[in-house]
Amino acid sequence: MFEFINFYFIPGVVLGCIYALGAVGISLLFGILRFAHFAHGDLMTFGAYVALVVVTTFGIPAMGAIPVAMLVAALLAVGIDRFFYKPFRESRTIILVISSFGISLMLRSAVQFFFGVDVKVYQRGIQRPLVFFDTLRIAERHLWIVGGAIVIIVLVHLFLTRTRLGKAMRAMSDDADLALVSGIHTERVIMATWGIGAALAAVAGVFLGIDTQLHSNMGWDQLLPLFAAAILGGIGRPYGAIAGALVIGMAEELSAYPWIGNEPLLSPGYKTGVAFAIMIGMLIWRPSGLFRGRVF
């Protein structure tokens, strides 16, 4: 029982929390800008490496570098939108999607140029887990990741429901033309969307680096589970993305549990395939997702 909790259930929750932060950004961007942003994973990578610079320069823990990573990633995303996406905003959606692939390659190449392709970590050495009841083992980093994700998600909820800008974002997501007619400053909303989405991606990247390690393809490798989570919850629905992320994270980890016999049900190397299978199944069975998101 405790083996299941220690090595499968808790890692599944942690992975789901990381996916949730990235998937919410994808969902917000799609809901307001109406295109799938394939450079989102590389924004995660960029944020993680910004935190690495802060950690190595000032010698502070990775959690303390998160605000800087969020700010720099948000400013970068707003700049990218200004110079690369805004000129094509009235074009067909496929042009923006292809542009996002180009931005993805640029960001990944920049990370590889400045930091190389070697694996890096925030903290070296073995970190002993916390032990409860002599058998329940929880890594301290997992507590920080889950707790941090909950706090950030609550703050995003309060922003979307209590602030004027958050309500404007929800209105524009529901009907952009009506929002424009009603006097909402759409450009300000778009800038806020890019900033929040990139900031959440940066946090997800830092959390992923804390939980595992850093490498230039880390965000790109997470892109499929992030989109699977957003589609499962309902594209354009931030709360659905959170639920979808938890389902995807748990499904990936539990797929390696030896449900039958002593061997894993699926090899851990097929975890991404589990996310892909769930995404394809949802697109066939219920394209609008669990929370009835947008379908175009």
- The domain segmentation of the chain, as residue ranges, is 2-117+132-217
Between CA 195 and CA 244, with CA 148 as vertex, the angle to 5 degrees is 75
187 or 206: which leads in pLDDT = 206
- Whole-Å CA distances, 213 to 13, 45, 52, 62: 18, 11, 11, 12
Q: What is the C-alpha R_g of the chain? A: 19
112 or 295: which leads in pLDDT = 112
- Examine the pLDDT at 182 and tell me if it is beyond 80: no
- For residue range 17-64, list pLDDT tens digits in order: 999 999 999 999 998 888 889 999 999 999 999 999 999 999 999 999
Distance CA 197, CA 206 (A): 14
For 186, counting Cβ atoms within 10 Å of its Cβ (0-12 exposed, 13-18 middle, 19+ buried), the class is: middle
What DSSP line would sit under 20-78, residue for residue?
Answer: HHHHHHHHHHHHHH-S--TTHHHHHHHHHHHHHHHHHHH---GGGGHHHHHHHHHHHHH
Quote the pLDDT of residue 2.
67
- For residue range 94-125, list pLDDT tens digits in order: 999 999 999 999 999 999 999 999 999 998 87
Quote the pLDDT of residue 31.
87
- Examine the pLDDT at 293 and tell me if it is beyond 70: no
For 46, counting Cβ atoms within 10 Å of its Cβ (0-12 exposed, 13-18 middle, 19+ buried), the class is: buried
Q: The tokens of 76 are what?
A: 């970068």
